[in-house]
Structure 1
């Protein structure tokens, strides 16, 4: 609503969001929001914010999606505030189709397969028994007297409960999280990284990795105009980053992964992006996703060393999104943490490069998305800034305590000699071996389809194949005011019931088209899914040839 520098669309993204939220909740804007909305009404006849003709949710969508940026900001580097396509309107469309099926509306399929999001348990993956046992014991401590639970699970549950106020999972914890769990995270990092020291005081338990990423970005972003903070992110990228950058009114600086080289990260491309961005912002943050989402690559040691050297040289704050660190499948590939490589490069790097690393309960072999457990380790942060980070985290009181307990089991699982070890390692290896099998199956089947190319799925839990879209289909997509890959994915959903995410939701090079699909469905269902995609794509090419 509104126009000009004083209106909520005149660069006032925060005002637009707050105004939209008020209306969506059925409240009239007050205070500054009310003054802005009246100014908007005067500037735009007929736009008065009375009872909306659209539904509140639709009005919220239009207000958010149509936020305008001031003219002095280069449009290609500024982005309106939008919901990530992974879980936003696209997911809603799939749910609409499901409702139609339940109402008896005939479709050329009997179910919708939601292959658009990495939700392992929703796709049928079984929980890790030991993790659920410990969380159950923490949630209902009376079970500690039950002979049905193993002693190693009880031992961990008692330790976690002793760290909670009143020995209850229902109490608040310290804003950084339960102390003993932070100690366990530090011990896990030291084991993972071959003895590289980790300080529990640098560990922050979070509401999934997303919460930590958003918090770090909030304390790093500052300035205005050409001094506004620029955040370098990979393209393709996980849309959390572009959404958070947009919400914080920072500058998104894109660097492109090399699709022709299995989505490798090239420092020359980082340098190009950085140098170009200096003309319109102050690039201060470099985000790396390894293993990659949506692209599934695992960066090698040399690449990580080059990135660290680049960050040291340019004084960039490194964000290492490492939530898929357990998901490495290809022979010859190995996960290397940025923390470990940074330490091994020597004190000149280790004592100077600022680094935040992130992990989560949601991915890996656990797939416990709903617990919202996660942590971040932040090193070389200035003490004053560290104090501000703790203060910022205190605003949300504490992360979910059950999620903290789940995170503890990820970093402190059964070890050889303990009662639960045999079952735990069997379940863990079964999940990871299954994912590796499905990654190879998906890659092979996609590469047999004419007009589809899929790079090796080295890690994570997604395929991001490149698809050829004929010019006639591109023209029809334009006629419907849709991106070509969105048009393709819409047709795929309508004709097969398969829900994937258009590549445009993650970013891609101009003139290329992709979609992201999770490899999480059970093997037999995945085979059916891939055959359906194959049949659809061949018919699509024939129709628009």
Structure 2
């Protein structure tokens, strides 16, 4: 196994030509981060004498797995936040802003009232008892009370009990109805598994597909680090294909032939391709033509399509770049392509990351494989029950004549409008900066600006063994309190530098966020301008 990159890269086999850039932590600005050897030494000194389990004796795939969005920068940001809460005056700001991860409610996105009302009632069903009914009716709308009763009727005695392995049949039917309404094509609850967020679904499918270390999975670059981390853990090989920044992060499907042929010439057994649409970290939305070409590519090469569609409601240019599901396009083409698609309550306007609710849909998957996936689900017993209930509300919200309909839609539309406004405002701010360009967010929750770092700064970083975009991002954090993720955590065209930032901070923080970033970047360019 080749030596691991520290923050965002993954470990590939020595003979693999597909190695993401290595990243080194900014130790000068992060003195409490330790090298792996230092960390091992400290852990060894604290371990019981003659310990059987040491860092060298455990599964090395797990040890070397990395996940950039929770790497060195957020660790340092949390340390700074603790300092501020303890009264430190060492910083030029009074709070840290975590723009490193799509975690809406951490950044004060308001939970959807109807979802929380139903959750409250099913968590404490005594509120529905006859003796409490008058008080409950004074606090909760009629449709929330009825939905809670309906949920309890099919959940059973308590949401604290296990459900079936693939989730509640009623919720799986709701998901199938939602997909049929969205796409105009049939969906069956037998093809649906409810999971702990989309991440749990992705990991389950990757574990199914990866049969031995020669297996390769095509992943987009830039990519969401869940994929490289999971492939490292399962012992597979990432086969990157590059998205095109100049065309708003579209796909050059003609280039996929070279990627897959090169991989196969190296002995890599390419079995699948991952497509993230809308894109993370790029914010791009694929065109219908692009999607048709991808499906035909999968047919030709006999590979499985993994469609990560968790941002399908986060689409900010619906007239020019609407969301289409890969299931819909495949059905329109009458394609035999084997496909898994994923969705989640963590994104969109729901933003319930901590409830861990999601689903996968199987399309053109054989009964034998479905049976094995059922067995895999059974090992985990079931997904989070409150997450399953939230999935049901996401796909089956209040109807036009329901008492909660008006408020539900006001909340959904308010969050959407604010996200769209913030994405435009932050994109404009980035594009005004020297040596920086940013494609607008067509979807998702992120911007991925490119920065042309001064050669003096790049040379300085490299002479000190530091990755330039990592060091720039750490300097930004120390100066502004804003935590982003360097582009090397997602992969990028060699010689280019980016960072990913959410546009989730509350609107009241946005002007200050932009002003402090503007001041930092101007100062940075003045110091290092060639």
**TM-score under structure 1 length normalisation:** 0.84
Q: Which blocks of at least 5 consecutive residues in structure 1 are unaligned? A: 4-8, 12-47, 69-78
Query: Structure 2 stretches of 5 or more lacking a match?
Result: 4-10, 14-39
Give, in whole Å, the separation in 2 of the partners of 1:63 and 1:535. Answer: 45
Tell whether 2:323 aligns with 1:332.
no
1:274 maps onto 2:260 in alignment:
yes
Tell me if the contact between 1:285 and 1:319 (Cα under 8 Å) persists in the aligned partners.
yes
Determine the structure 1 residue equivalent to 2:45. Answer: 53
RMSD over equivalenced CA pairs, Å: 2.6
Alignment match, 1:318: 305
Between the two proteins, the alignment pairs up a number of residues equal to: 483
Give 1:102's aligned residue.
85
* Cα 1:275–1:10 shift into 2, 3 Å: closer
SS in 1 for 2:406: helix
Deviation per CA, 1:232-288: give whole Å up to 9, x if none: 000000000000011000010000000111100111122221111112311111100
The aligned runs of 1:231-242 (5 Å cut-off) are 231-242=217-228
Residue aligned with 1:91, SS: helix
Q: Which residue of 2 aligns with 1:259?
A: 245
Q: Report the secondary structure of 1:288's partner residue.
A: strand
Query: For residues 274 and 192 of structure 1, what CA distance do their matches in structure 2 show?
Result: 32
Residue 308 of structure 1 corresponds to 295
Name the structure 2 match of 1:169: 159
Residues 144-198 of structure 1: CA distance to partner in whole angstroms, max 9, x if unpaired?
2310222222222222222224x2100000110011000000001111112x000
Structure showing greater relative contact order (alpha-carbon pairs closer than 8 Å, 6 or more residues apart): 2
1:173–1:219: structure 2 CA closer, same or farther, 3 Å change rule?
same
Secondary structure of the structure 1 residue equivalent to 2:70: coil
Secondary structure, aligned partner of 1:278: helix
Aligned residue number for residue 64 of structure 2? 81
Q: 1:150 aligns with which of 141, 144, 149?
A: 141
- Secondary structure at the residue paired with 1:52? helix
Partner of residue 290, structure 1: 277
TM-score by length of 2: 0.87
CA distance in 1, matches of 2:277, 2:43: 48
From 462, 473, 493, the equivalent of 1:509 is 493
2:306 match: secondary structure: strand
Please say if residues 160 and 181 of structure 1, whose CA atoms lie closer than 8 Å, have aligned partners that are also in contact.
Answer: no
Q: Using the alignment, how far apart are the partners of 2:118 and 2:301 within structure 1? A: 45
Q: How does 1:470-485 map to 2 (within 5 A)?
A: 470-485=454-469
Tell me if structure 1 keeps the 8 A contact 2:44–2:54: no
| Distance change (3 Å), C-alpha of 1:198 and 1:507 | same
| Cα shift at 1:522 | 1.4
Contact 1:164 1:172 in 2 (8 A): no
Contact 1:267 1:307 in 2 (8 A): yes
Counterpart for residue 159 of structure 1: 150
C-alpha spacing 1:482/1:279, structure 2 compared with 1 (3 Å): same
Distance in 1 separating the partners of 2:58 and 2:447: 28
- List per-residue Cα deviations over 1:78-118 (Å, max 9, x = no partner): x9833211013332111111122233332122111111111
Superposed, 1:161-240 pairs within 5 Å as 161-165=152-156, 167-194=157-184, 196-224=185-213, 228-240=214-226
Q: Distance in 2 between matches of 1:192 and 1:297?
A: 20
State the Cα deviation string for residues 442-478 of structure 1 (Å, max 9, x = none): 1111111111100011110111000111112112222
Q: Which residue of 2 aligns with 1:445?
A: 429
1:10: how far off?
13
Partner of 1:118: 102
Deviation at 1:54, TM superposition (A): 6.8
Look up the match of 1:21.
Answer: none
